[in-house]
Each structure stands twice: as C-alpha cells, then as structure tokens.
Amino acid sequence: MKGLPLEGYRVVDMTEVWAGPFGTSQLGDLGADVIRVESYPRVAQSRPAQARQAPLAGQTTPPRSLPANVGSGGAAPLDAPRPWDRASGYHMTNRNKLGICMNVLDPRGRELFYKLISVSDAFVIGYSAGTATRMGIDYQTLVQHKPDLVMLSFAAWGEQGPYQGYSTIGSGPDAWSGHHELRRYPDLDPSSVPGGLHVDAIASMTIPYAVMAALHSRERTGRGQFIDLSLAEVLMNHIPQPFLAWSMNSELAQPIGNVDPDIAPTGCYPCRDEDTWAVIVVRTDEQWRSLRIGIGDPAWADKPEYDTVAGRVRSRSDIDEHLTRWTRTMTPDEVFAKLQAVQVPAGPVNHVDGTLGDRHLNERGFYRWVTHPITGQYRRPAPPYTLTRTPSQFWRHTNLLGEHNHDVLCGLLGVSDEEYEDLIARGVVGNSYRPEFAIDA
C-alpha cells in the first residue's frame, strides 16, 4: 500500500491468539509487509482443525441461522469446508498480512526461516520464555543471519528472571498482578470473577509501539536490538494507582465493583426493559447540579448534604435509590441522551450487537466491509486510530492457512518449483490441517 508510514519494512510474525497477532496487524495497517509464519502440522490455537458448532452465550443449542464465523474459538457449520479459515478469533486479530505455514523444527524449514529473517527488518515471537532458544530461532542465533534485526519476544513474565519458562495465558498475569482481585465485587469472592484477557488487549497496543521505537533507533544508529516484553509488567503499568497507594501510603486497594468510593453518584443503573442498563458518573458539584437539571430537578435532590462530594458519598444509597427510580422509566439510550445534553458523563451498556448499528460509529466509518475468499463479506472494526494524511486501510484480507506459501518461498526466497513440491510432499509446508492433527498449546 503506497504512502503508508511503515511502507518498505518487513516484519515476521510468529505469534498466537490475540496480543501478538493484533499487534503485528497494526504494523500491517501502517504499511509494513507482515509475513505471518504459522506452525505446521501443529494446529494453531486460534484455528480449529475440525468444524464444530458452538452455542452463543446462554444458549444450550445453536440458533438455526448461526453465521459461519461466529462462536468462541471460531465455530463453523459442521459441513463447512476449511473450518480453520472461518475462525472468528483468527479473523479478529489477523489482517494485512501474508501467511505461510511451515515446520521450522524441520532442518529445511528452519533454513528457510533463517533466509526469511535475513531479508526482514523485525521479528515478533509470542512463545514462553526459552522456547525460541530450544527451537533455534532465538535472537543470538538470528542476528548471525540479520545483524541489525529488531526482535521482540513477549512472554508472561519476560525472557529473563526466576520465572523463565513459566507458561500461562492472559488470565495468568491478570490474577498474578492483582487485577483479578480488584475486578471482583466486594460481596463476592474471586471465583466469581470472569476470566479476563485485558493484558492481551493492552499488550497488542504496546507491541507495535516497541517495534517502531526500535526501528527508529536503528535508523539513527544502524543497530538492531532485542526487546524483552513482559505481559505481567505491561498489565501492572495499567493499574498503577493500587501499587502506588500501597507503596506510598500503605493503603491496600479493595474491590469496588461499579462504585468509585471517592465520588457519588456513580455506577450502573437498571433501565426500563429487563436486563438493560446505563452508566452514570458524577465527579464534581457542577456535574451534580447538571444532573439535577437533567432529571427534572426533583424535590428529593434538594438537600444541602447532596451539594458536596463528601455529602453525596455519605448519602450514596439514598441517591442511588432515587436515581434508579428515574432510570427505570427510560431506555439506556434515553438516559444517555438526556444526561449528555446537560454535560453529565453517561452511556448505555450495550451488548456487542448494539454498537453495530450505532449512528456515531457508522458515520465515522468505523466499521469496514471486507471480502474474504472463504467467509465472503462481513464488517469489522477499523484500525484504532486515524491518520489524516495516510489513513490505514484493510489492504489484505485475513490470510488463509498457507495462502502465500508459494509467493513467499518461491517469489521472495528463491525456492524452485521442484523444491517447493518436495517441501509439500515431506510435510514441511502445507495449507490444510488433517483432523488427526492435535493442538499443542
């Protein structure tokens, strides 16, 4: 894609699931030539080897018209061909990439991987600490093939330290950091907290930042470098207040649910229809006065103790009881409109499908139609920011499994057609899974 900021850079992506794939997708959004190397014959965690039907949340049987790319992990109709190319989880995090499928543990596969690294600028890997070394694709090995390589590895606790080799997924750092404990409600124990992958979301935004910083440094110095990114440390930077409250004031943060203990009213309030909600936050005395106007200045709100933040915090229960009576007369969108009209922070609690029809998002062009050779047309969220002079585009559809094997191996790396066919026959490269292939997490 001509004119994008990272045009001319080539990035090799060997990551799984969310954090790494979405991070490298953003490099692709900005014009980098991202080549995704998927394992073979091992089945990727976010690609199903066999079609399987998954019910939506709260359902015991699938709906009759379940789309092919809906479901946790990417369920598809039982008779759908190439289910691994229909997984919604894979489509979510992989766009603007070339995709090859190769066994880098095979000596010939590893040799080709080294050759790919030699013509690339950066390499992102998302395996547990020490795995790259065991595979022979660690930084010290790869710089022999590309001396100015930028390589980023993100492991749960980083590459170095006493926890080297410990493995987990996003819920592990969430619990270890204390974030899981803080997310619970005060009257429930941690077992009630749903699994959280917040760390994947924020790491996916940190990865491209770190890679671009290292590439910028290389432009100035001519030297590449290794980036040791710890998922746990990324997450802890997103919850600094509890740590500083303890280290500075010996205050141990407690779970607060939907309530901010320092202000009132604040929380999630039920609306007119069953299981519909709106969030309202009043931080200042000025916002309280605006709230009174927005709800019709009722007599119950005309109390001197409500005029200050401290007074409202002490009267939180009474205020919430009255405010709930008001929100129960309206839809979440009506609460949203009425309070935003008087400059009070408020918003509807949407289900996922609620934002698809949102007028604001659609007028901003947030949802983009994409065409995929297997799943056809569907909408997906746009890149997370807009550059006015060089706007990001979806210029490559989510790659099929092994879709660009020939293009990359023969076109970029110079493999002959005869050798390419031999690689296929030996199972070093491929573009489909067999049902007996197992997932090796």
The whole-number pLDDT of residue 56 equals 46
Residue 354 has pLDDT above 90, yes or no: no
Instruction: Assign domain 10-237+396-425 to a CATH class.
Output: alpha beta
Residue 234 has pLDDT above 50, yes or no: yes
Tokens for 342? 């008087």
The whole-number pLDDT of residue 63 equals 39
Return the ∠ at Cα 28 (arms to 26 and 33), rounded to 5°: 150
Instruction: Give the pLDDT mean for 338-363.
Output: 90
Sketch the domain layout of the chain as residue ranges.
10-237+396-425, 266-349
Tokens for 228? 């040791």
Instruction: Give the pLDDT mean for 382-396.
Output: 87
Instruction: Give the pLDDT mean for 411-421.
Output: 97
SS3 of residue 391 by DSSP = coil
Is residue 124 within 8 A of residue 132, CB to CB? The reply is: no
* DSSP letters spanning 328-343: TTS-HHHHHHHHHTTT
Chain mean pLDDT for the chain? 89
Instruction: Give the pLDDT mean for 194-205.
Output: 87
Q: Which CATH number fits domain 266-349: 3.30.1540.10, 3.30.200.20, 1.10.390.10, 3.40.50.20?
A: 3.30.1540.10
Tokens for 315? 């009267």
The whole-number pLDDT of residue 111 equals 97
pTM: 0.86
The whole-number pLDDT of residue 356 equals 83
List the one residue out of 298, 321, 300, 309 whose CA is nearest residue 264.
309
Is residue 154 within 8 A of residue 19, CB to CB? The reply is: yes
Cα–Cα distance, 53 to 77 (Å, whole number): 6
The whole-number pLDDT of residue 438 equals 53
Is residue 22 within 8 A of residue 95, CB to CB? The reply is: no
Tokens for 195? 């699994």
Cα–Cα distance, 83 to 437 (Å, whole number): 14
Cα–Cα distance, 36 to 31 (Å, whole number): 15
- Report how far apart, in Å, the C-alpha atoms of 68 and of each of 60, 367, 374, 431 are: 18, 19, 10, 20
The whole-number pLDDT of residue 77 equals 61
**Most distant CA pair in the chain: distance in Å?**
86
The whole-number pLDDT of residue 229 equals 94
Look at 118-122, 156-160, 431-435 and tell me which has the smallest mean pLDDT.
431-435
Cα–Cα distance, 268 to 349 (Å, whole number): 8
Residue 257 has pLDDT above 80, yes or no: yes
Other beta carbons within 10 angstroms of residue 142's beta carbon come to 24
The whole-number pLDDT of residue 440 equals 46
The whole-number pLDDT of residue 385 equals 86
Q: Which residue has the tokens 């920011």?
A: 385
Encode pLDDT of 62-84 as tens digits. 433 333 333 334 445 666 788 88
Residue 255 has pLDDT above 80, yes or no: yes
Q: Which residue has the tokens 């997370």?
A: 384
Encode pLDDT of 288-307 as tens digits. 999 999 999 999 999 999 99
Look at 17-31, 36-50, 138-152, 254-268 and tell me which has the smallest mean pLDDT.
36-50
Q: Which residue has the tokens 């210029």?
A: 395
Q: Which residues contact 39 (CB under 8 A, 6 or more apart)?
A: 101, 102, 103, 104
> What percent of the chain is modeled with pLDDT above 90?
60
End-to-end CA distance of the chain: 34
**Predicted confidence band at 55 (pLDDT cuts at 50, 70, 90)?**
very low
Burial category of 249 from C-beta neighbours within 10 Å (exposed 0-12, middle 13-18, buried 19 and up): exposed
Encode pLDDT of 307-333 as tens digits. 999 999 999 999 999 999 999 999 999
